[in-house]
Homo-oligomer: A and B are copies of this chain.
């Protein structure tokens, strides 16, 4: 059956983030959220808190701050009581899926203006106690043996190396590119370029993944204000449209041991992308830039292939030859990616949307980036998350 045309129906009219992602020991969860929200509000024109009809809150680990995981927490922080707020949690796709549900509600016609917020406190809390210890205590088959996330992704890297002849240098090229982009981004956690020698000689976390192959653990928050396209011009001269959304699932408990598992791809990414491309009525070749889930450098290589930007096994060349650079064929992680920004789980998906909106507006420099960070003439951008070591993926497609 023919699906409705979502193109240029949903507009993003305001975006904001905390002023800089990082180890925000002087921010509580509420401080981060308020800072991101106020920027999003002021980014839109003529928008008052009373105009917001409803909100969606992407927040993955409430236990980190000892709170209960309700949307009411956001409502109280932002003083938007009694507005309806839904809390969404979906592994590393938490922020993106919160925004997706906000967009469905706008498309339903019931709400005019809605808010999507993503936030996470990752540093100054007992995250390991709340999350990992609970999983270990309940007998998690891998984590209980100390087999944590870097170890899981390292197996993807070794299988990929074996199958396609890639090397640790191919991973390093991803780190060098994303650190270079992040060094120009005043909001990134890490704002320092690294050279390949430094990446290759860094301590190993789980071979072949060294320190610079892993994204940091970071606090952050981001917000986006969404409305129907026909109302957008009231709030901005430069609306950016959310034209495609896709979420896909894969095995959770069995993901690592499932006999069908191909360690050189994440099927959830491809399935989510297919839904988003179908909704936006585009294919991968039309994407000008993409914020992808580089939790580890190997993940970015697989993302580039799974999203259809190049063929299987071709991502190392794609990155090495500069096709993933700003100004290349498809700029990958022009913001600096998770590698530079870190990955506050609930925030990341909406932080990527913040980047995509500014890239599509063409106003990245100088406020959000030093010279060379603007993707030239970008018309279509894509944001991608991969969560639960492959058990969930999200793809959002934005166009100007």
Contact = CB atoms under 8 A, between A and B. Distances in A.
Interface of A: 1, 3-4, 6, 54, 60, 63, 65-73, 75-76, 80-91, 93, 97, 100-101, 103-105, 107-110, 112, 130-131, 134-135, 137-140, 246-254, 267-268, 271-272, 275, 279, 387-388, 391-392
Q: How many of these chains are in the complex? A: 2
Contact of A68 (B82, B103, B388): B388
Contact of A250 (B3, B81, B105): B81
A110 to B, nearest CB: 6
21 contacts: A54-B247, A63-B63, A66-B134, A66-B139, A69-B89, A69-B90, A70-B388, A70-B391, A72-B91, A72-B387, A72-B391, A75-B249, A80-B249, A81-B250, A82-B249, A82-B250, A82-B267, A86-B88, A104-B105, A105-B108, A107-B109
B105 A101 contact: yes
Contact of A252 (B73, B275, B392): B73
Given A68-B91, A69-B89, A130-B134, 4 more contacts: A4-B109, A70-B89, A86-B88, A104-B110
A76 B138 contact: no
A249 B72 contact: yes
Contacts of A247: 54, 71, 84-86
A86 B90 contact: yes
A110 B66 contact: no
Residue among A4, A73, A84, A86 with max Cβ neighbours from chain B (10 Å): A84
A67 B76 CA distance: 28
Given A82-B268, A137-B66, A110 B249 contact: no
Contacts of A63: 63, 134
Contacts of A91: 68-70, 72
A-B CB proximity, top 7 nearest: A66-B138, A84-B247, A107-B108, A75-B249, A4-B109, A72-B391, A82-B271
A277 to B, nearest CB: 14
Given A88-B86, A247-B85, A391-B72, A110 B3 contact: yes
B90 A387 contact: no
